[in-house]
Structure 1
Amino acid sequence: MKTELGEMFEISAGYPFRESIQPFVEGNTYVIRSQDIQSDRPVNRLELAKIQLEVQNSDLFRSRHWVQGGEVLFLSRGQPRASYIEDTFTDLPVVTAAHIYRIKPIFEKVLPAFLAWQINHKVHLGHLMQEGSTVPSVRRKQLESLVITLPVISIQEQVLSLWRMISKERRLYQQLMVSRQLEFQTMVEDLMA
């Protein structure tokens, strides 16, 4: 089934911080920043910074800004990319920076990892045109109008399985290339000594 992203998913911007984000070890909230969004893996709670966030109406704030498991996160500025949240964090609430869109499924017909993969694939193919001169960005309307395909869950799982194997092979090949380069450098240095 093909559909526009905005028809099947609720898309909202992250929390509008009024100041720069200052990590605080004893903070009461995790924050997801640009560097936490990686296109080849889910967001890792252990890598997130904590901040101290004071809110006036916690119920309203929770419903509008807290990130939940199963959401896809899209970095709209710089090099756009998507990642996802596998599980809801139970120890502290989580918010995202304002330039990270939260994509929440309205229906349970999609795996978050599959949606993130598909968005990243569309970005790679140039389906999301970036605007801006200094820092390219993707607007919410552009993201909402992105046409995606939603096959049945079993097909989504097959695609993800193949993608993960390819990603693993790519990482192993890169490690092999680095190892070979070091081996070559050592051999050349020994020969020239």
Structure 2
Amino acid sequence: MNKTLADIAIVKAGHPFRGKIPEYKDGNAYVVQIRDIDNDGYIHWQQIIRTEITGRKSPEWLQKGDVLFAARGGRNVAAYVDDINQPTVCAPHYFLIQITDKTVLPEFVAWQLNQKNAQRYFANSAEGSAQVSIRRAVLEAIPLVIPSIEKQMAIVGFDNKVKQEKRLFNALIDNRASQMQGIAQALLG
């Protein structure tokens, strides 16, 4: 079944910080920034910073099942928010996608937004010269293919295994590089 993102989700802007996001050791919230999500859409929760959220309006806290989409810069990666247990917002460089259609898995939407067809769509629709960005209307208009929930679950499961294997192989590569540096240090002084 073909739909647009607007058919199955609500798209909201990230939290409106002004300028550089300040880090506060005892802040009342955490913030996911561009540097916190890798090219595979994995959120590195251990490195997000703590900050202070002020203002009269209650922030749009991230919840399990949300999808973050990097709208600015050369990497338009989507990330699924899995387990979250602390008050966290996303930076203004992101769009927050909340899936409203119960027949669509958020993880599947994040996976599909990271595929070559979607990335080509974003590259062709990006605006700006110094810093390219994707407008909300462009994101909402992206065409999506929505298979059965069973097929979505199978794709997401397989994608999770691929990402897990990739992280393991990268850890092994890093370990071997460290070993080689140790050998070089011991041998060459």
Shorter-chain TM-score bucket reads 0.7 to 0.9
Q: Structure 1, unaligned stretches of length 5 or more?
A: none
Per-residue deviation, 1:117: 0.7
Which residue of structure 2 aligns with residue 2 of structure 1? 2
Per-residue deviation, 1:152: 2.2
Per-residue deviation, 1:49: 1.0
**Whole-Å Cα distance in 2 between the matches of residues 179 and 44 of structure 1?**
19
Secondary structure (helix, strand or coil) at the match of 1:95 reads: strand
Please state if 1:83 is matched with 2:79.
Answer: yes
CA contact (8 A) 2:76 2:119 kept: no
CA contact (8 A) 2:67 2:98 kept: yes
Which residue of structure 2 aligns with residue 110 of structure 1? 104
The one-letter amino acid of 1:29's match is A
Percent identical among aligned pairs is 31
- Across the two proteins, how many residue pairs are aligned to each other? 181
Within the candidate set 58, 61, 67, 2:62 is matched to: 67
Per-residue deviation, 1:125: 4.6
Note closer, same or farther for the CA distance 1:88–1:182 as it changes in structure 2 (3 Å cut). Answer: closer
TM-score by length of 2: 0.80
Secondary structure (helix, strand or coil) at the match of 1:128 reads: helix
Within the candidate set 138, 141, 145, 1:145 is matched to: 141
CA contact (8 A) 2:32 2:91 kept: yes
Per-residue deviation, 1:37: 2.4
Which residue of structure 2 aligns with residue 126 of structure 1? 120
**Whole-Å Cα distance in 1 between the matches of residues 93 and 113 of structure 2?**
16
Note closer, same or farther for the CA distance 1:184–1:95 as it changes in structure 2 (3 Å cut). Answer: closer
Coordinate RMSD, CA, aligned: 2.8
Per-residue deviation, 1:72: 0.3
CA distances 1:111-145 after superposition (whole Å, capped 9, x unpaired)? 22211110011466502132221222111111011
Note closer, same or farther for the CA distance 1:27–1:132 as it changes in structure 2 (3 Å cut). Answer: same
Q: Select the structure of larger CA radius of gyration.
A: 1
Which residue of structure 2 aligns with residue 135 of structure 1? 131
Note closer, same or farther for the CA distance 1:142–1:175 as it changes in structure 2 (3 Å cut). Answer: same
TM-score by length of 1: 0.79
The one-letter amino acid of 1:7's match is D
